[in-house]
Amino acid sequence: MPEIPDLEAVRHYLMPRLAGLKVTHTDAPIPWLVRTGAEGLASLEGHGFGEIHRLGKFLLYFVDDGRLLVINPMLTGRFHWIEATAKKPGRLGVVIGFDDGHELRFSDMRRMGRWYLVPQDGLDAIPQWGKLGPDALAVSEEDFLARLKSRRGQIKATLVNQEFIAGIGNAYSDEILWEARLHPHRRRATMSEEDLRGPYRAMRAVLEESIAIVDATVQEEGLGKKEEWRQHLKVHRRGGDPCPRCGAPIKGQMRGDSETNYCVVCQPLFE
């Protein structure tokens, strides 16, 4: 699932490339991805895009007529920036063509991505939008601390809860907790004030470092080969590998189809 560094790289890659272009054609081979109605996509023709913002796992494309194109790629949504004549990818969901001969394509293996075309004051039409917490890159340390103090559950479950803060998922929660030396199942009640500040500082450090790495990778290889870039992660999906800090084997724990990874030595569970 794309998380903040992946979506920031998409945003940084596309914004200068879309500048000054006009939409010439649109298509929705998987029409239900466009939750506000695929037929409405054609109304983008003749228009262009300005800034691209992000809140949590949503990208917000500002249309020059005052509307917003809001996209949540969910598990497997992938953006492609490619010439219109290039071979189409599998599970192509939505296409927006531009007057310089490029297409912004969206493919989605699991077909769970969500697109919405709404007025700027119409974000409440997006399910759960009003419940989203502040973005993980925008929340202040004091706000983070206050929000965390009102949560009782396990720290990993809290970090990935989009109502707590928006943008952190399974992969980066593992990285953040490893950096903060906190066991993913630690509960709020067992954590000191310093323990509660640790994940905030680790979150900032991990996200900033990862954004720089993923940005550089995407600038070099372009958009379309992947929806998430994970080569730099230290513990997530590294079960059995040595912990980069202490050398003990990284533990992998499956719950449903998502894996939690941590180091039992660096991240002890105090209950």
* Choice between 112 and 264, CB closer to Zn ion: 264
Min dist. Cβ of residue 185 to Zn ion (A): 16
Rounded Cα–Cα distance for residues 153 and 139 (Å):
20
Residues 122-150, buried b or exposed e (16+ Cβ, 10 A)? ebeebeebeebbbbbbebeeeebeebbee
Spatial distance between the Cα atoms of 16 and 20, rounded to a whole number of angstroms: 9
For 264, residues 6+ apart whose C-beta sits below 8 A from its C-beta are 248, 251
For Zn ion, give the closer residue by CB, 14 or 266: 266
- In whole angstroms, the minimum distance from the beta carbon of 245 to Zn ion comes to 5
Can you name the residues that pair with 61 across neighbouring β-strands? 52, 69
Judged by beta carbon, residue 21 or residue 266, the one nearer Zn ion is 266
Instruction: Report the interface residues with Zn ion, using CB under 5 A.
Output: 243, 245-246, 263, 265-266
Nearer to Zn ion, 105 or 185 (CB): 185
- The least CB distance from residue 192 to Zn ion, in Å, is 21
Q: Considering the complex, what minimum distance in angstroms separates the CB of residue 193 from Zn ion?
A: 24
Q: How far is the CB of 152 from Zn ion (least distance, A)?
A: 27
Half-sphere exposure of 242 (CA within 13 A, CB side): 4
Cβ closer to Zn ion: 20 or 242?
Answer: 242
If residue 146 lies in a helix (H) or strand (E), which one and from where to where? Answer: helix 141-149
